Amino acid sequence: MIKKKKLLSGPYLVWTVAFIVIPLLLIVYYGFTNEAGSLTLENIMNMGTPENMKALWLALLLSLISTVLCLILAYPLAMILSNTKANATGLIVMIFIIPMWMNFLLRTLAWQTLLEKNGVINIALKFLGLPSLNIINTPYAIVLGMVYNFLPFMLLPIYNSLIKIDRNVINAAKDLGANEFQTFCKITFPLSLPGVISGITMVFVPSLTTFVISDLLGGSKILLIGNVIEQKFKQGSNWNTGSGLSLVLMLFILVSMAIMQKYDKDGEGAAF
Partner 1 sequence: MSNKLIDLVHITKKYDDTTVLDDLNLYIRENEFLTLLGPSGCGKTTTLRIMGGFEQPDQGNVIFSGTDITSLAPNKRQLNTVFQKYALFTHMSIAENIAFGLKIKKKSRDYINDKIKYALKLVNLDGYENRTPDSLSGGQQQRIAIARAIVNEPKVLLLDEPLGALDLKLRQDMQYELIRLKNELGITFIYVTHDQEEALTMSDTIVVMNQGYIQQIGTPEDIYNEPQNAFVADFIGDSNIINALMLEDKLVEILGTCFVCVDTGFGRNKPVDVVIRPEDVELTDPASGTITGTVSHLIFKGVHYEMEVMAGGFEWLVHSTRMFPVGTEVGIRVDPFNIQIMHKPESEDEEAVMIDD
Q: Which is nearer to partner 1, 183 or 238 (CB)?
A: 183
Q: CA 243, 248, 259: angle at the middle one, nearest 5? A: 140
Sequence-distant (6+) residues with CB within 8 A of 103 are: none
Q: Which is nearer to partner 1, 62 or 196 (CB)?
A: 196
Q: Which is nearer to partner 1, 144 or 173 (CB)?
A: 173
- Does position 162 interact with partner 1 (CB under 8 A)? The reply is no
Nearest to 232 by CA among 251, 248, 216: 248
CA 267: distance to chain centroid? 19
CB atoms inside a 10 Å sphere around CB 121: 16
Residue 183 CB, shortest distance to partner 1, in Å, is 8
Residue 180 CB, shortest distance to partner 1, in Å, is 9
Based on the number of CB atoms within 10 Å of its own CB, is 205 exposed (0-12), middle (13-18) or buried (19 or more)?
Answer: buried
Q: Which is nearer to partner 1, 130 or 169 (CB)?
A: 169
# residues contacting partner 1 (CB under 8 A): 19
Name which of residues 163 to 182 contact partner 1 (CB under 8 A).
166, 168-169, 171-179, 182
Q: Which is nearer to partner 1, 131 or 177 (CB)?
A: 177
Contacts of range 165-170, beta carbons closer than 8 Å, 24 or more positions apart = 165/82, 165/191, 165/192
Name which of residues 182 to 201 contact partner 1 (CB under 8 A).
182, 186-187, 190-191, 193
Q: Which residues bind partner 1 (CB under 8 A)?
A: 166, 168-169, 171-179, 182, 186-187, 190-191, 193, 265
